[in-house]
Amino acid sequence: MSIHIPKLLIATHNPGKRAEFQRLLTALPSEITDLSAVGIRTDVEETGDTYHDNALLKAHAYAQQSGMWTLADDSGLEVLALDNRPGVYTARYAGKDTTYAEKWALLFSELAGKQGEERAARFRCVLALVSPAGEAWLFEGVCDGQIATAPAGVNGFGYDPIFYLPELACTMAELPLSDKDFYSHRGQACQKLINWLARP
């Protein structure tokens, strides 16, 4: 039988992620809330070596604090020519408090001289769903593309303006949000979660 979740806590302080999850999870018959709405101000340090580890760390910690069903994600950008860096360190790439413009600039410098498929990259997302009792389930989504040579587009957030989708001839940030939600790593992971919750 399917699992009914009356209220789901999204474990993020990131306003871009929060807005994206609100869109991606509209098919769920659940009230969607977030950390700020339930008064949780603490941060959970991402000390894991993998996306799975970090997503589970956050989901378990916030489920314990809130007593609610909790959904956490860990996502990253993997650049093949850089041995899949920055990976789990994507948010801290170029330093913890650097701007995304500075992170993009570092990527561009590391890929100087490389063209086309030499700039191959992927976005990866792992979602961890944890129940108030501590049960856990994982869902993963991947989106393949390339690192652009310059930022373009105003939709999305983070690395979206420099993540180029060759088959669509645009960056993730140039897509309408409905299209981005379909193609993105987080969109794919959320769809797997929705399908799993609705299974007979």
Question: What CATH number does residue 109 fall under?
Answer: 3.90.950.10
Report if residue 140 sits inside a domain.
Answer: yes
Phi, psi of 158 (to 5 degrees): 60, -125
Q: Count structural domains, the chain.
A: 1
Active-site position among 34, 74, 160, 181: 74
Per-residue pLDDT, 138: 98
| 1 belongs to a structural domain | no
**What is the extent of the structural domain holding 54?**
7-197
34 in catalytic set: no
In a domain, 2, yes or no: no
User: Confidence class of residue 2 from pLDDT cuts 50, 70 and 90?
Assistant: low
Burial class (CB in 10 A: 0-12, 13-18, 19+), 80: middle
Beta strands in 59-197 (DSSP E): 69-79, 85-87, 120-130, 136-147, 163-165, 170-171
Residue 53 lies in a domain: yes
- With cut-offs at 50, 70 and 90, classify the pLDDT of residue 198: confident
Q: List, for residues 144-182, the tens digit of each pLDDT value.
A: 999 999 999 998 889 999 999 999 999 999 999 889 999
Q: Domain for residue 83, yes or no?
A: yes
pLDDT score of 91: 87
**Confidence category of residue 3, pLDDT binned at 50, 70, 90:** confident
* Per-residue pLDDT reduced to its tens digit, 69-126: 999 999 999 999 999 999 999 988 988 889 999 999 999 999 999 999 999 999 999 9
* pLDDT tens, position by position, 45-57: 889 999 999 999 9
Q: 19-36, pLDDT tens digit by residue?
A: 889 999 999 989 999 999
194/190 Cα distance (integer angstroms): 6
pTM: 0.91
- Is 1 a residue whose pLDDT tops 60? no
pLDDT score of 19: 86
Sign of the dihedral through C-alpha 35, 42, 188, 107: positive
